Chains A and B, each alone.
Chain A
Amino acid sequence: MQVVDWNIIIKEHGPVVWQTAYRLLGNDADAADCFQETFVCALELSRRQRVRSFPALLIRLATTRSIDQLRRRFRHERIGTNGHNQLEGSNNNTDPVQYVQQQELAARLRIALTQLPLQEAQVFCLRYVNDMTYRLIANELGITTTAVGVILHRAKTKLRRFFKASIKEPRSEVVL
């Protein structure tokens, strides 16, 4: 059994987990829940198997938990662009219109991610939100780098379709 000092782990990798969860969820409460669940999951995993890279594991777990949380929220609340909790503390240097547009796009991306299959959403977030390499993603998910590319391509195609449809029908909920 691997001996881990969780105080150090949380101190070193907590901010990354927090940022990952907060970016995907967009509010404090959900991000906090996700934060705790991520570390509990990591603890259980470290009991079963040896963890080679805690940052990658924690980012993957945080991403997975965040997507799960988003899905639950989307199912329960059927969140739309208007129902989503806006981020606190806008940047004062940006144009308000541009800021609103960015918020809208981010909210739409969150909705689209909930409608992707879990693995595709996971790979997409790890690659484009957390900037992980193909090899790192493949190692974390236990698949080949080719498979990562294929999954990523599928995810992007579906997301493009979602955005195209959402542009045509901005008020309606688009299902992939």
Chain B
Amino acid sequence: MKEDEKILEKAVKALKDENVPSGPSQELKNATINKLNRVSEQPNTIEFEKQLHFSDRLIAIKSLAKFAVAAVLLIIIGFAVGRLSNPQPPNMEEIQASLEPAIREQLLGEIKQYMQLGMANSYVRLKDDLTEQYRRDLNQLAANVVNASGTVTNQLLQDLIETIDEAQAKERQWFTAALEQIELNRRQDKAQLGNALASFAVRTEDELQQTKENVEQLWSYTQTDGLVPNEFENSNNKN
């Protein structure tokens, strides 16, 4: 801020300190005096303008007065002419008779046009109403059909589910019975097999005993022939 102030002060000082040539010159002075003389010789424009305004105003008032007089005369003449040329009162019956057909025709035309317009409007409105009603009925019917079909479908599906459940139950029962039968058969087979194995074991033991005896007997026969193998005898002792 101070810097700006300084710059401004410097600028003002520079402007004031500028070298101004001495003057004005004598020529300029003379020219100025001549110009002043010329200007002073001219009439005072303000007073002239005032006078001019006053004279203009007088002229305007005069012309306005003339115009007003002319207007009044014109109005009077017009009034007189109007009074003198006042027409006779018209015959109302003739006028009525002449106007009635035209009015009737025009009225009929207007009524016809109005009716046509009204019918056209009512036709359009009726058409719109019917269309709207038809659309509503169709929507209602479609909704009913959809509801009914849904109910029937649900019933059929319910029946199908029940049938499938029954079939599955029967199948499970049959399957259970079959499993029970298989189990029973298995147990019977197991029991028979056990019995058979037991009898087979007993028989096998008997047969082995029989075979042993036969072999001993056979051995005794062979011993009697003089042949006494020591090893065979030892093995029998061990047994």
Contacts and interface: CB of A to CB of B under 8 A. Distances in A.
B32 to A, nearest CB: 5
Given A18-B24, A47-B46, A163 B36 contact: no
A44 interface: yes
B92 interface: no
B7 interface: yes
**Which applies to chain A's interface (DSSP): helix, strand, loop or mixed?**
helix
A167 interface: yes
Contacts of A118: none
B16 A129 contact: yes
A103 B40 CA distance: 40
Interface in B37-65: 39-40, 44, 46
A105 B14 contact: yes
Interface string A27-44: 010011001100110011
B24 A15 contact: yes
A164 B36 contact: no
Give 6 closest A-B pairs by Cβ, nearest first: A102-B14, A160-B4, A105-B11, A109-B11, A105-B14, A18-B23
Interface of A: 6-7, 10-11, 14-15, 17-19, 22-24, 26, 28, 31-32, 35-36, 39-40, 43-44, 47-48, 87-91, 101-103, 105-106, 108-110, 128-129, 156, 159-161, 163-164, 167
Interface of B: 1, 4-5, 7-8, 10-12, 14-24, 28-29, 31-33, 35-36, 39-40, 44, 46
